[in-house]
């Protein structure tokens, strides 16, 4: 009996030691560089937003944040990698409406549950969606675009960043509204697919505003409408879908930071605080706003707000995807 109780005592001692070691590690966090997984190719909207905020966050945290582009499967490859990473705060992911909401309905065997296998750190930016086409697309406005696509869908190529991506999901909504099924060309991100659109190799795309604004300003593509209730000041001349005659197309995405489930709360709190500071930094705000993104106010920031956003977005996009037939 004495041995058993001594053994139990030793075990309890080890447990206390382990807990206090974990607590000490969390309190000292971060003591080495942090990896931020971007689940799409460099140069796309997720990558651009990740680099803008991580630059500022690394100053606050006192450690380099290394961007790692882990591409494939509409962002779910990178999200799966992040979910499986050690929950120590040294691997986080810039996810979004695709990886952490739409993918649930698009991938019946998705390796992760966005609302259970991650710890929310915080919402980073809202990103309205625009209907874009190559520069010489034969339509001068959205009404002509809709008519042309309906009449020629079998000859048209649509670009996106893979099944489950924002560009895939939002154009799924557009194509189901138009009742068309063009050829869809997947890329490793909408950085590369935007290059193809600018080169005229594909015909149209639904993309996040942060990726579209530089091309609209450069006159290299056509932007027919923005899927939000109000116009956006960055491309002020792009009409809303309501103004342009397709009010049913309402589409906005968002980017947010997540950590693997089990990441200690003190570590999450340091990451959330560093993100909050970045979103209050004038330089960061100017870069994000100039690209047309929407910076969340205090009520939409933080871990609890992101946790409820993920749940509501899964609930919002799942029926849209199922109705489109893409999930069958």
* Stretch touching ligand MLT by CB under 6 A, among 15-23, 42-50, 292-300, 312-320: 42-50
- Asked if 95 touches ligand MLT (CB under 6 A), the answer is no
Q: Smallest distance from the beta carbon of 73 to ligand MLT, in angstroms? A: 11
- With binding defined as CB under 6 A, does residue 175 bind ligand MLT? no
- Compare residues 72 and 266 and give the one whose CB is closer to ligand MLT: 72
The answer to whether the beta carbons of residues 161 and 77 sit under 8 Å apart is no
Angle between helices 282-290 and 265-280 (to 10 degrees): 70
Task: State which of residues 26, 29, 30, 40 lies at the interface with ligand MLT (CB under 6 A).
Answer: 40
Considering only 24-32, 38-46, 263-271, 307-315, which stretch makes contact with ligand MLT by CB under 6 A? 38-46
CB 118 within 8 A of CB 259: yes
Residue closer to ligand MLT by CB (options 72, 239) is 72
The full length of the chain comes to 328
Number of residues that bind ligand MLT (CB under 6 A): 16
- Compare residues 165 and 240 and give the one whose CB is closer to ligand MLT: 165
Q: Say whether residue 234 binds ligand MLT (CB under 6 A).
A: no
User: Cβ-closest residue to ligand MLT?
Assistant: 44
Interacting positions 200-229 with ligand MLT (CB under 6 A): 208
Q: Which of 30, 45, 235, 302 binds ligand MLT (CB under 6 A)?
A: 45
- 271 in Cβ contact with 257 (< 8 Å): yes
Q: Is residue 98 a contact point for ligand MLT (CB under 6 A)?
A: yes
Task: Assess 317 for contact with ligand MLT (CB under 6 A).
Answer: no
Q: Smallest distance, Å, CB 43 to ligand MLT?
A: 8
Q: Which of 95, 189, 235, 260 touches ligand MLT (CB under 6 A)?
A: 189
Q: Which stretch binds ligand MLT (CB under 6 A): 18-26, 147-155, 184-192, 223-231?
A: 184-192
String of contacts with ligand MLT for each residue 155-174, x by CB under 6 A: ------x---xxx-------
Residue 77 within binding range of ligand MLT, rule CB under 6 A: no
Reference 180, options 220, 203, 146, 211; nearest CA is 146
Determine if 76 is a binding residue for ligand MLT (CB under 6 A): no
Provide the binding-site residues for ligand MLT, judged by CB under 6 A.
40-41, 44-46, 75, 96, 98, 161, 165-167, 189-191, 208
């Amino acid at each position: 009996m004495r041995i058993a109780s001594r053994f139990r005592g030793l075990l309890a001692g080890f447990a206390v030691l382990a807990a206090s070691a974990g607590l000490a590690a969390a309190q000292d966090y971060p003591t080495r560089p942090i990896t931020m997984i971007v689940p799409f190719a460099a140069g796309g909207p997720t990558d651009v937003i990740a680099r803008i905020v991580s630059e500022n966050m690394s100053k606050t945290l006192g450690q380099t944040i290394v961007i790692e582009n882990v591409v494939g499967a509409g962002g779910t490859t990178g999200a799966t990698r992040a979910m499986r990473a050690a929950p120590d705060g040294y691997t986080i992911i810039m996810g979004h409406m695709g990886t952490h909401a739409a993918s649930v309905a698009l991938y019946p065997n998705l390796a992760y549950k966005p609302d259970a296998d991650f710890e929310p750190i915080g919402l980073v930016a809202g990103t309205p969606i625009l209907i874009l086409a190559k520069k010489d697309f034969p339509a001068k406005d959205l009404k002509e675009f809709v008519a042309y696509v309906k009449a020629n869908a079998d000859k048209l190529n649509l670009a996106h960043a893979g099944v489950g991506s924002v560009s895939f999901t939002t154009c799924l909504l557009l194509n189901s509204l138009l009742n068309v099924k063009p050829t869809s060309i997947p890329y490793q991100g909408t950085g590369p697919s935007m290059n193809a659109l600018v080169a005229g190799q594909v015909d149209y795309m639904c993309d996040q505003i942060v990726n579209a604004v530089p091309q609209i300003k450069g006159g290299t593509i056509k932007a027919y409408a923005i899927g939000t209730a109000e116009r956006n000041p960055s491309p002020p001349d792009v009409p809303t879908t309501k103004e342009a005659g397709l009010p049913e197309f309402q589409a906005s995405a968002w980017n947010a930071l997540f950590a693997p489930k089990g990441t200690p709360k003190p570590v999450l709190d340091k990451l959330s605080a560093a993100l909050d500071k970045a979103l209050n930094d004038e330089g960061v705000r100017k870069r994000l706003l100039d690209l047309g993104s929407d910076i969340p106010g205090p009520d939409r920031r933080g871990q609890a707000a992101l946790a409820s956003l993920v749940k509501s977005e899964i609930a919002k996009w799942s029926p849209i995807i199922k109705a489109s037939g893409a999930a069958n």
